[in-house]
Amino acid sequence: MRNNQPVSQNEYVIPDGAAIISRTDRDGKITDCNSEFIAASGFTHDELIGQPHNIVRHPDMPSEAYRDMWDTLSRGRPWSGTVKNRRKNGDFYWVRATATPLPDGSGYMSVRIKASRSEISGAEALYAQMQRDPSILLQEGRLAPRGIAALAQRIVPALSIGTRIYLLTAFTTVIGVGFGIVGLKDAAQARDALKQHQGAQVEITQQFTSLSAQLRASGSPDASGLDQLGETLRRQGDAAQAEYTRAEARYQDLLQLFIGLGAVGLLAAALGAVALTHRLRQSVDAGKGVAEAIASGNLLQPLPQAGNDELGALIIHLAVMRNNLHELIASIRNQVNTLLTNARQLSQTAGDTHRLAEEQSESASAMAAAVEQLSVSIDHIGDHARESRELSEGSGSQASSGASVITAAAGEMRAIAESVNESANSVRDLESLSGDISMIVAVIRDIADQTNLLALNAAIEAARAGESGRGFAVVADEVRKLAERTTNSTAEITTMIERIQSATRGAADDMEAGVTRVARGVSLAAEAGATVGSIQDSTQRVLASVAGITLGLEEQSTAARDIAQRVERIAGTSESNAASAATLTRAAGELAELSRQLEVVSGRFRIA
């Protein structure tokens, strides 16, 4: 026997409500175990799987207990008993174990619950006695009887119920009929012999009386002798009659004996039937009690010892069913706890997603307002640019008219300079607004990234939930796709804003160059009219710059409208994200409610 060392005197108390479950193959190697078994044994899951089940055997357990257990299981019968096991660190723990063969014959399953103190005390005393006296044997977890009781317990339970009834009836019939036949046969033979003797005696007496009468009539001297002989015959007849009477009495006595034996046989049959009925009733009541306990959800009801008859087979099947139910309910409880945890995490993730979706929607609305302001600013800049162009064209006409209008041209150029300055200021405002929009786009990109990360976390949590979380995985995937679309749209918006900023900076540079040129033209016009040609050239260049500004502003206006459309789509996407997050939140709540309902249903069963 495997001797696991070292051991300590520290007891590990099994928690109330714990159900320690493990499965082994036919060779006793562990193939599966639950978390309670891992916690009680102190080993890890990897250290237990594939190892012999005696890895938790305690040296205080007698080898007879394990011999009895494996012998019982190999015969397809359940085994139950109080067991002391060893933990990895040498501590010990007590359990009440019930082991049953698996229905498919691939191995065995053991369900253990916390043993009571009375069970532990009884087991300690018994195992200590067995260590001192190896002759003490166990039978299916109980003390094996000895002597005639052991023989009777081996033979009687091995007979089916029908066989017991047939044997009882046959035994009673044979005893009664045998005694009756023998007694009646002897009595009848004695009575028949006496009857024949009496008949012969009567015939002799009649013949003797006739002969005596003839001798008297003839006066023969032999008549007196015949009288003496007749007296002797009469005495013999009386003796024969007395013997016949005694034989008749013996016959009546034997008849009464036969009746008495028949009554005794009937009484024995009745007592045997009562004993058989009592045993059957006990077995039926025990099986009924276990079935009622299982039906009411109590899986802790102790099982009676199963015989080898039909009722014993019923007890065995009830034991297997109870162990399977025990394993199922324990597994459901563990899974419900995991499902509740995942549901809470999923609900929290869904709430975060919903909050971020609302923030994204608010940011999109703010961006839409900023784009609207940008569009208005671009329209104002366009108006100023058209006005500047008209002024530039007028300046060119006046410059070509001659030096007489130089003063007027200078004033117009000053007006152009002011308009260009206003346009430059508007362009700078446009550049500032573009920077604000870039910051908003960056915020939206960060929100989209967080939404994508949360959607990934929700998909992971839904995958952990298994079949129940498949619907939430679909919702999480849609949220992830919407986040990706938002990211792509913000990237496109960023590109367009960069183009606008580039064009705005170019326009500002052109305007500043135009302002410089106009200032030089004003200076030259003030100095001399001879510079009119130069002023006209500068005016043409300013006109070209203003035309470029106008073209840039038209492009910016188109880009701004495109941005507005994309912002509207982002707002719609944000609303869809918010709706999906709300759906995910509701689904997480439904999953949590389902988990609570499963917890209530499994709580109807007592497994520890």
| Per-residue pLDDT reduced to its tens digit, 580-593 | 667 767 777 776 77
- CA nearest neighbour of 559 among 483, 504, 488: 504
pLDDT class of 140 with cuts at 50, 70, 90:
confident
Flag whether pLDDT at 572 surpasses 90.
Answer: no
Angstrom distances, CA of residue 147 to CA of 133, 144, 152: 17, 10, 9
Give the CA count within 13 Å in the CB-facing half-sphere of 346: 36
Span 20-157 CATH architecture:
2-Layer Sandwich (3.30)
**Can you tell me the mean pLDDT for 463-473?**
69
Cα(462)–Cα(558) distance, integer angstroms: 44
- CA nearest neighbour of 26 among 140, 106, 109: 106
Flag whether pLDDT at 49 surpasses 50.
Answer: yes
Q: Can you give the pLDDT at residue 28?
A: 92
State the residue for tokens 């009571």: 116
Most confident segment among 66-70, 176-180, 347-351, 493-497: 66-70
Cα(126)–Cα(140) distance, integer angstroms: 15
pLDDT class of 157 with cuts at 50, 70, 90:
low
- CA nearest neighbour of 321 among 343, 293, 349, 286: 293
CA torsion angle for 583, 587, 589, 591 (degrees, to 10)? -170
Flag whether pLDDT at 391 surpasses 70.
Answer: no
Flag whether pLDDT at 90 surpasses 80.
Answer: yes
CB 588 within 8 A of CB 354: no
Flag whether pLDDT at 201 surpasses 60.
Answer: no
Q: What is the pLDDT of residues 521-569, one digit of tens each?
A: 666 666 655 665 666 676 667 667 666 776 766 677 677 667 767 766 7
Helix (H) or strand (E) holding 218: helix 161-218
Of 399 and 579, the one with more pLDDT: 579
CB 250 within 8 A of CB 190: yes
Cα(85)–Cα(144) distance, integer angstroms: 23
- CA nearest neighbour of 447 among 354, 371, 369, 564: 354
- CA nearest neighbour of 20 among 605, 606, 608, 602: 608
Among 205-214, 380-389, 535-544, the minimum mean pLDDT is found in 205-214
- CA nearest neighbour of 41 among 90, 100, 108, 113: 90
When the candidates are 1.10.3470, 2.60.40, 3.40.50, 1.10.287, the CATH number that belongs to 339-602 is: 1.10.287
pLDDT class of 152 with cuts at 50, 70, 90:
very low
Cα(392)–Cα(413) distance, integer angstroms: 8
**Can you tell me the mean pLDDT for 211-216?**
60
Share of the chain above pLDDT 70, in %: 40
Cβ neighbours around 238 below 10 Å, total: 11
**Can you tell me the mean pLDDT for 472-495?**
71
- The domain segmentation of the chain, as residue ranges, is 20-157, 161-273, 339-602
Q: Can you give the pLDDT at residue 558?
A: 73
Flag whether pLDDT at 92 surpasses 80.
Answer: yes
Q: Is 376 left (phi over 0), alpha (psi -120 to 50) or beta?
A: alpha
Cα(353)–Cα(482) distance, integer angstroms: 12
Q: Can you give the pLDDT at residue 303?
A: 65
CB 165 within 8 A of CB 276: yes
CB 433 within 8 A of CB 378: no
How far from chain centre, in Å, is Cα 31?
18
CB 218 within 8 A of CB 250: no
Tokens of 460: 């992971």
Largest CA distance in the chain: 227
How far from chain centre, in Å, is Cα 606?
16
b/e code 114-140 from CB counts within 10 Å (16+ = b): bbeeebbeebeebbeebeeeeebebeb
**Can you tell me the mean pLDDT for 326-354?**
71
Confidence (pTM)? 0.43
Of 222 and 434, the one with more pLDDT: 434
Q: Taking the CA atoms of the chain, what radius of gyration do you get in angstroms?
A: 58
Cα(56)–Cα(2) distance, integer angstroms: 10
Q: ∠493-498-499 over CA atoms, to 5°?
A: 95
Q: Can you give the pLDDT at residue 407?
A: 66
Flag whether pLDDT at 223 surpasses 60.
Answer: no
Cβ neighbours around 601 below 10 Å, total: 13
Of 368 and 130, the one with more pLDDT: 130
Flag whether pLDDT at 62 surpasses 70.
Answer: yes
Cα(3)–Cα(86) distance, integer angstroms: 10
Q: Can you give the pLDDT at residue 124?
A: 93
pLDDT class of 175 with cuts at 50, 70, 90:
low
Contacts 24+ apart (CB under 8 A), 119-125: 119/82, 119/94, 120/82, 120/94, 122/82, 123/81, 123/82, 123/83, 123/84, 123/94
Of 161 and 248, the one with more pLDDT: 248
Q: Can you give the pLDDT at residue 543?
A: 63
Cα(104)–Cα(550) distance, integer angstroms: 87
Cα(141)–Cα(312) distance, integer angstroms: 15
| Number of residues that make up the chain | 608
